[in-house]
Chain A
Amino acid sequence: MKILVAVKRVIDYNVQIRVKEDGTGVVTDNVKMSTNPPDDNAIEEAVKIKEAGKATEVVAITVGEEKAQETVRKALAVGADRGIHVKADGILEPLAVSKILKKIVEKEKPDLVFMGKQAIDDDCNQTGQMLSALLNWPQATFASKIEVKDNKLEVTREIDEGLETIEINVPAIVTCDLRLNEPRYASLPNIMKAKKKPIEEIAASDLGVDVSPRLEQLKVEEPPKRKAGIKVANVAELVQKLKNEAKVI
């Protein structure tokens, strides 16, 4: 079984986001970037499945600008076998990314495609489902547990009401929840070894897909600020304020 894992480079989750004054976006210059957190879970799960002898190859792929390749390199350092970097500049909407991934899937013929359930920059939560639609493959979104059974996967999904279990035939798409596993850290020797693993570079323009944006981002602004609150001295004061000032209890 071959697993393709899609990873995205985003502003690190610990960075306090700042909106650009001209309203065109958020500040990304000199800001720490990392792999989208649930994409780390996707890589970890693929590597674990390979370590358990149930997969033969793990291929990490990213779509994006030059520096996006760092995320593939990181995936290689934690156990992916080789990488693919589809180079593309500018804003790529999930629909465009899923069309690019479809082209790569047709070429690589993986049995499974894993990725994070949502990117923490645009918070779209679309790419996995869209790729699954374009390929007409089954989809298991928000996965918190994956069991590989021959040519099937049993996946536990996190849904609003609790947990749902589904069984999907491969080939299939799985989008990963943060609770799926605990991603490992790359050891120094493995980081060194990863430098020798191959990363194939492909220009998005050579794939023959239309990636032009369909959405216009007219403005990005700061959300309304909450007015500063107060500290209360003790519990009695808190309850009195809730009862008589805020009138919520």
Chain B
Amino acid sequence: MAVLLIAEHNNKELRPFTLNAATAASQIDGDVHAVIIGQNSAEAAKQLSELPVVKKVLSVEAAHYENFTAENFAPVIVKLAENYSHIVCSANTFGKNLMPRIAAHLDTSQVSDIIKVISPDTFLRPIYAGNAFATIKSNDAKKCVTIRPTSFDPCDSSGGSAPIEKVDAGEEFSNTKFVKREEIKSDRPELGTARIVVSGGRGMQSGDNFKLITEVADKLGAAIGASRAAVDAGYISNDHQVGQTGKVVVPDLYIAIGISGAIQHLAGMKESKIIVAINKDGEAPIFSVADYGLEADLFEAIPQFMEELNKLNTIQK
């Protein structure tokens, strides 16, 4: 039986991690169908049909799907599930919210946040904030799997031409009403997919001082991250949080400034290719994962860092 991928989108276009989830789905079984549930989401459905790994697109549209409410989405997918061996989605807040609702309806034990497909029924997943890796075999007839997007490469986004099939909408769940969404708009690369991430922690001491992080990020074309301590202290908004319960990032370069490196933060960034730590406490745990550590007062080091960057003829973007 084929694998059903749940597309994440904003009604206009696919959200980027759908491509990573599609890769994971195709590693489970080559026959991947994708379902897109939304309102006026034809353009996103078309993008989905162009992914070469997707063999068929199921499109479900209704006004009550506009805001991705799990209570409305789950019954649609449960109904489709009879034709599929696996249901797959990204383990970001969209998939985390939705998939367990589907799994419970199917009486299936979900496998969350996998980082590797070992076989169609066996997966590798981090536990204890990534301090251990567990190999899990699912004995359920239908498998519900969420995937850690940064552990799978995005699939090609063009060249495919899967047929798009309309599927009837389900009923509206009337006890949950969407009120509003406050999205933080930014011209910067997205934190989850950026090549370089510059993160600040409690050592920044104030929201104002985060301007220093912004300057470095601007110079390097980087996304801005933060530790939970910095978010809790109100220096920066929650969508920047990197860690066990925030975002997991795997950039080519992660620069941690004024971050001590609590286990919970390391869980979100320690797979980065190159890690730089700037901290005045030489004993800070962040240095244990850093490729390059600089023991220095960040308020002196950041201006010097900017100066040195300005001396370079070229900076990779």
Contact = CB atoms under 8 A, between A and B. Distances in A.
Interface of A: 11, 13-14, 16-17, 19, 26, 38, 93-95, 98, 117-118, 120-134, 137-139, 141-142, 144, 154, 157-169, 172, 177-179, 213-223, 226, 229-232, 234-236, 238-239, 241-243, 246, 248-249
B134 interface: yes
Chain A binding surface SS class: mixed
Interface stretch (B40-48, B158-166, B170-178): B170-178
B214 interface: no
Closest 5 CB pairs of A and B: A129-B100, A214-B109, A133-B104, A130-B104, A17-B131
A231 B107 contact: no
Chain B binding surface SS class: mixed
Given A221-B135, A236-B308, A249-B253, 18 more contacts: A14-B263, A17-B129, A26-B127, A26-B128, A94-B100, A95-B109, A117-B245, A125-B91, A129-B98, A142-B96, A159-B94, A178-B232, A232-B292, A235-B296, A235-B308, A238-B294, A248-B196, A249-B220
A229 B291 contact: yes
Contacts of B275: 226, 229
B31 interface: no
A214 B176 contact: no
A221 B112 CA distance: 17
B175 A125 contact: no
B101 A130 contact: yes
B292 A158 contact: no
Contact of A129 (B104, B134, B308, B312): B104
Interface residues of B, number: 92
B138 interface: yes
A179 B103 contact: no
A230 B274 CA distance: 12
Contacts of B134: 217, 219-220
A195 B239 CA distance: 41
A183 to B, nearest CB: 13
B276 A126 contact: no
A99 to B, nearest CB: 9
B140 to A, nearest CB: 5
Contacts of A229: 275, 287, 289-293
B109 to A, nearest CB: 4
A242 B183 contact: no
Contact of B294 (A95, A130, A160, A231): A231
11 contacts: A19-B132, A94-B109, A98-B104, A120-B129, A123-B244, A137-B175, A142-B93, A160-B94, A162-B181, A162-B182, A218-B136
